[in-house]
Amino acid sequence: MSTDPARVVVRRLWKRYRLQKEEGGRLRRRKTTEDHWALRGIDFTLPAGGALGVIGSNGSGKSTLLQILAGVLPPTSGTAETSGRVVAVLNPTAGFHPDLSGLENIRMLATLHGFDRNALAEKIPTIIEFSGLESYIDQPLRTYSAGMMIRLGVSTAMHLDPDVLIVDEVLSAGDLSFQRQAVAKARQLRDQGTAIIVSTHALGDLATLCDRLILLDRGEVGSEGSADQVVASYLQRVDADGGKIQPGAPVVGGARPTTPDGRLRITSITINGQKDPSCVETASGQPLELEIAWQAEEPVDDAVFRFQLFRNDGLFAHGQNTVRHGIEIGRLEGSGVTRLRYERLGLLGGDYYVAVGIWPDEYRSLTTGEPYDHRPSAAILRIGADRIAGAGVAGFPCEWTIERDPSAVDIPSAEEDLA
């Protein structure tokens, strides 16, 4: 953790909402109020160059905390103090006007954060290039898709020289390429001294960006510490509350809906000898064998077979396809079986969705193309792992050795031993 002066200081922070309820029968109804404490006694300090991740289930108080830090909501009691320029991205359209163009919105937001015309003129080309919206920047914001708005908002915020950057969920929104670009920029800002507070369900992003995490549970800090420690605590709570993936459950944030075109169908999926399983149990470091049986309703010349694993929080943990492996499939007719084998599967313990698909093209399958056939949650892969296997998502064979310098060790003499 950085030893630089504090940029964010939160002390005994409480936030209450007054909820209205109606009671009584049809003829005698009366309204009552009920107190709901969204935050309960939150305390933390964040220095310049520090990055704090906030995780927790829906309704745990994450967004309320970030809105108070951004100045959108007042606390009920306690204090939340920030120093320097605070830039917040709380939703895709925060601070924007739908009838203004993308460029006009950039200028408006920058002006609100104290930039004069000359300083802004230097930043606008960089903001537009980072967003990738060059062709749309003069169009009104109401014509933008949600993903385009996210690109514009995140790009603008990250280039306004923030001393404190507050981001709520949007780092895990948008397309995968922009997500990676935004997380890389956030790391750069952190290394340059920006204090960052981010809330997202993409736990992998938090682990690479944040040096410290807090887990909120019903408005209270349930756990605080390193990314590994807090994520482990969170997943334990999720499992304890019934958060293990259940057979047939849809993928959480890992794959968008698709519409198979039917020309090439998956007829069965076999994992480690189990045909069309709902759940397969194995252990980290053990072999994994996949068989995809298919039926071609008409000849197909461009098929790509894809295998993917998503963790139970939606994190994309691993993927492989025939193009990546340099396999020339050629024309597919009639029926057949495509096989994939891992001698040692290196994923650590947890539940993973198995996604299997056949696509007409590797790159279209990642953007707007539709598959020949796609099973986004074909089965659940339940992996067990000993503590020795490591932490995180992946495990690798390793060996620890310790060498000691004999001259630096104070070894007692035989006379001293006898004495």
Q: pLDDT of 157-208, one tens digit each? A: 999 999 999 998 766 656 677 888 888 899 999 999 999 999 877 676 777 7
Same domain, residue pair 272 and 227: no
- Measured from the Cβ of residue 389, the count of other Cβ atoms closer than 10 Å reads 21
Q: 220 is in which domain, residue-wise? A: 6-240
Same domain, residue pair 178 and 292: no
- 274-333 residue pLDDT tens: 999 989 999 988 999 999 999 999 999 889 999 999 876 667 889 999 988 888 899 999
Same domain, residue pair 193 and 312: no
CATH number at residue 375: 2.70.50.60
Same domain, residue pair 214 and 268: no
Residue at a domain's end among 240, 272, 300 = 240
Same domain, residue pair 235 and 297: no
- 333-386 residue pLDDT tens: 999 999 999 999 999 888 888 999 998 876 555 554 678 998 888 888 998 877
pTM: 0.61
In a domain, 278, yes or no: yes
Same domain, residue pair 186 and 221: yes
Same domain, residue pair 14 and 116: yes
Same domain, residue pair 206 and 316: no
Q: C-alpha angle with apex 317: 342 to 303, nearest 5 degrees?
A: 65
Residue at a domain's end among 208, 225, 240 = 240
Same domain, residue pair 111 and 190: yes
- The set of residues, in sequence order, having a beta carbon less than 8 Å from that of 403 and lying 6+ positions away, is none
Contact by Cβ (8 Å): 186, 171: yes
What length does the chain have? 419
Same domain, residue pair 385 and 283: yes
CATH number at residue 200: 3.40.50.300
